[in-house]
Amino acid sequence: MSTILPTIESPHDLQGLSPDELENLAAEMRQALCQVAASRTAHFASNLGVVELCLALHRVFDFSKDRLIWDTGHQIYPHKLITGRYNRFDTIRTRGGLMGFPNPSESPYDLFMTGHAGCSVSAALGLASGDSLQGHDDRHSVAVIGDGALPSGIVFEALNNAGFLKKRLIIILNDNRMSICPRVGALAEYLDVVRTNPWYRGLRDKAGNLIKGVPMVGESMERMLV
């Protein structure tokens, strides 16, 4: 029985939760995901894998003004659970119910109706550029993209442009080695080499020890290090 999740009406409600409560909330969110997946076709593994990441993002940033773009969008379920749609979550991917992807008509926290892989970086950069032009230099623009979508041509174009524009853009690589089809190409091979590099593994361990000290979300974030 969920006890915390039904009380989360917006991401602002996360701010008062203790570390133990956040951990319990993550478990309740996974239970809700399992219940949906048991009754219909749904994107399952990708959503289970970003629960802590989703909570950490909504704890650190204020996406009522900051910007969050989930690449492809099929891992949007945890985000929907904590952005005011828990009471309708059992309707997801049903006629007249919630979409299985971001939908701006459902929530102001969904900025684009994404679906195609690789669009998040350019979309987030566009939002950051627009905010800068309007004088909103205090806003952050965050793109979450997987290693399967990263080699897309549109991503390289966006990265090239981002390096030139130097806007307030954060790109989070969800390097989980999972995609619809096997990853191929030089970038995929390079990421595999990086993961097994002793220098990187030592740096990762040191970073993990530092991250674990972050209040509330440190231990969950440390477990996500690849």
The answer to whether the CB of 29 falls within 8 A of the CB of 5 is yes
Q: Answer yes or no: is 101 within a domain.
A: yes
Number of domains in the chain: 1
Q: 217 in a domain, yes or no? A: no
Any domain includes 65: yes
* pLDDT tens-place string over residues 143-199: 999 888 888 889 999 999 999 999 999 999 888 766 666 666 666 666 666 666 676
The model carries a pTM of: 0.79
Q: Is residue 46 part of a domain?
A: yes
Angle made by CA atoms 25, 29, 32, in degrees to the nearest 5: 140
Query: Model confidence over 76-100: pLDDT tens digits?
Result: 999 999 999 999 999 999 999 999 9
Distance, CA of 43 to CA of 74 (rounded, Å): 6
* 15 within some domain: yes
Question: Which helix H or strand E contains 187, and what residues bound it?
Answer: helix 186-196
The pLDDT assigned to 217 comes to 57
* CB crowding 123-158: b at 16 or more within 10 Å, else e: bbbbbbbebbeeeeeebbbbbbbbbbbbbbebbeeb
Inside any domain, residue 226: no
Q: Range with the lowest mean pLDDT among 70-79, 96-105, 197-206?
A: 197-206
94: domain CATH number? 3.40.50.970
Query: Does residue 204 lie within any of the structural domains?
Result: no
219, pLDDT greater than 70: no
| pLDDT confidence of residue 195 | 63
Domain that holds residue 38: 5-183
What's residue 151's pLDDT?
A: 80
Residue 207 confidence (pLDDT): 76
How much is the pLDDT for 190?
A: 63
For residue 70, the SS3 value is strand
